[in-house]
Amino acid sequence: MFDFISHKKKFFAISGILLLISVLSLIIFGLKPGIDFIGGTIMEIEYEEISLNNNEIKEVLTNFDLGDIKVQATGENGYILRFKEIDETTHQQILKLLEDPEEKRFESIGPVIGQELTQKAKWAVGLSLLAIIFYIAWAFRKLSKVAGKGESWRYGLGALLALFHDVIILLGFFSILGALKGVEINTNFITAVLIVLGYSVNDTIVIYDRIRENLLIYRFKDMVKTINLSLNETIVRSLNTSLTTLFALLAIYLFGGTSIKYFILAMMVGIGIGTWSSIAIASQFLLFKRKIQ
């Protein structure tokens, strides 16, 4: 049986380094908000054959008052265009002047709507975290009779700590991507964060539930022994579930469209970090300020 508890300092050191890098990146670089949060227009177009190049597209777009124009090539004959908010009339005029390419995506959002989406995104993540901690405290309430008053809240706080760990590292990863490759975050990214929160807490609950079962069945007084046993009993299940999910996501990442590429990447990184935190953070937290037998 592998002794997870004896390696907790190594686990914390690895997580600490990742958190430090993430926090520093967020402080130095921050996140690059997409048009969903700051407003603007994004168009993804593709030509059957090479028709206009980057410079020619920019020259066409300068006929309109579009503010800061960005043109990014995708694939052999595709481009992603970014500029300020436009109406439908201007939209159609631009397509006509661009020689009627195939339009794969068009989004145009005003700054007011962008601010509303930002607030709603914060509320969505915040309420999700609160709901998770209360649910876990309620689900593990019977442990208070066995392990002492307030034990269920220890489990809730452990899960919450692991979730903060996952979110900060995921944000830090995209902060670095934003600085190096100009990757922006949008509502798809918020969706990915919420999916990662659900996946991570599910993995944590599986481990917590096995710890609870072992406590109730065997009545171990040695909490270290209980956690080690529970982790060894669930580690294969956790890894298999995560790996099969990652394989499916990797296929979508490699062969899916450009528009969902970073949405899938966010889920892949989040699931990997979530699996790690369930073992290295959430489970280890159950020993915090506890007398070791």
Mean pLDDT of 197-201: 87
Per-residue pLDDT band at 182 (split at 50, 70, 90) = confident
Q: What is the pLDDT of residues 245-292, one digit of tens each?
A: 999 999 999 987 777 889 999 999 999 999 999 999 988 888 876 665
Mean pLDDT of 148-175: 85
Q: What is the pLDDT of residues 236-253, one digit of tens each?
A: 988 999 999 999 999 999
What 3-state DSSP class applies to 108? strand
Mean pLDDT of 130-147: 72
Say yes or no to pLDDT of 176 above 90: yes
pLDDT value of residue 113: 63
In terms of CATH architecture, what is 40-108?
2-Layer Sandwich (3.30)
pLDDT value of residue 264: 94
Q: What is the mean pLDDT of the chain?
A: 84
Give 180 or 66, the one with higher predicted confidence: 180
Question: Are 5-34+113-285 and 40-108 in the same CATH fold?
Answer: no
Q: What is the pLDDT of residues 80-137, one digit of tens each?
A: 888 888 888 888 988 888 888 888 888 877 766 667 777 887 788 888 878 887 887 7
Per-residue pLDDT band at 173 (split at 50, 70, 90) = very high
Mean pLDDT of 8-20: 94
Indicate the burial class of 153 (C-beta count within 10 angstroms; 0-12, 13-18, 19 or more): middle
Per-residue pLDDT band at 221 (split at 50, 70, 90) = low
pLDDT value of residue 199: 87
The pTM for the full model equals 0.81
Per-residue pLDDT band at 157 (split at 50, 70, 90) = confident
Say yes or no to pLDDT of 202 above 60: yes
Sketch the domain layout of the chain as residue ranges. 5-34+113-285, 40-108
pLDDT value of residue 5: 85
Say yes or no to pLDDT of 153 above 80: no
Q: What is the pLDDT of residues 24-55, one digit of tens each?
A: 999 999 998 877 777 788 888 888 876 778 88
Say yes or no to pLDDT of 2 above 80: yes
CATH of domain 5-34+113-285: 1.20.1640.10
pLDDT value of residue 133: 77
